[in-house]
Structure 1
Amino acid sequence: RARLVGRVSMDMLSVDLRGVPHPRVGDEAVLWGQDPRVEEVAARAGTIPYELLCHAGRCLA
C-alpha cells in the first residue's frame, strides 16, 4: 500500500512510493478492489462508496 500525498487536484493525485520496491512508470496502481475495498477507501475519505464510484467513472479508463 502507498499513501496519498496532499489533495486531489484537477483529477490528479500524488502517491508516496518510498515503501514500494522498484516502482516504474507504467506500473499498475489499484485504487480499490479486493484490497483495499472501496468501502475502506470511502470511509478514510469521509464519504460513501457510491460517491467515489460515480466520480471515478468520469476520470478512469
Structure 2
Amino acid sequence: MPEEDKHEMTSSKTPLGWRIKVSEEKMRRRLKSLSTRYSFIKTTQAKVLYQIFRSNLQKVHRAI
C-alpha cells in the first residue's frame, strides 16, 4: 500500500469517499481523452449523416 493511501485513511476523510473521488477523476480524464479522440470522427460522421439526410429529403420531395 502506498504511503499516500495510509495517510488518507488516517485523515478525517473516509477511505471509501476518497477512493470514489479518485475514481471520478480517473473517469473524467478518460472521458476527456476519449472525447478528444472521437470528436473528429463524430464531426465527420455528422457531416455524412447530414448529407444522407438531405438527399433522402430531396428524394421524398420528388416522390410527392
TM-score by length of 2: 0.23
User: Which has the larger Rg?
Assistant: 2
TM-score by length of 1: 0.23
- The structure whose residues are more often helix, as a share, is 2
Higher relative contact order (CA 8 A, sep 6+): 1
- The structure whose residues are more often strand, as a share, is 1
